[in-house]
Structure 1
């Protein structure tokens, strides 16, 4: 069974109904810049936006114990099957609506053991 796909399908059904824990979100990244032989940037990185489904939650004990944790940090869970591509700590996550709407920076990032979701410690900004 494809657990990642199954969870993504269930989350999409809740989002369509407007009453579930997952919200529409966008992962914001940039392509790598192009450098010339002297190390100068010839072409800057271009912004990339990738839609996904995310759930916002309080940080658990492990996240609160991480170096750099600050009051106001939240856990953002992005369903892997709803995101085209991977995640890295340079990305930002834009939550489209609701009480957590806005852009969040990625402070820490991990993937759950069955690869259903990315677990992010996010900070407004």
Structure 2
């Protein structure tokens, strides 16, 4: 088995442009899909994120920590949430990402996770 992080990107303005009942239906569909993955033993963790405007970017340069309100880069799509899955291979991870509701109007980046080998 291999762990993958599925990063869900979307344009917040598009999501917020859906009528409230449609946004609720998308959210309910995403939660039902996560429940299905959890029951199948494939979902390790998942969470939506608050809007990008609530982000704080932290940088350390020459031992000095600075913070900036908002995300690091100005992009059309923002990171909206994630799924951490454990599946046999990339094909399974892609299949799972393609079925996540936000993939229909945003994108899902699938990245294999490295095992750190740290002692517990």
Q: Does TM-score exceed 0.5, indicating one fold?
A: no
Which has a greater percent of strand? 1
Greater relative contact order (Cα < 8 A, sep 6+): 2
Which has a greater percent of helix? 2
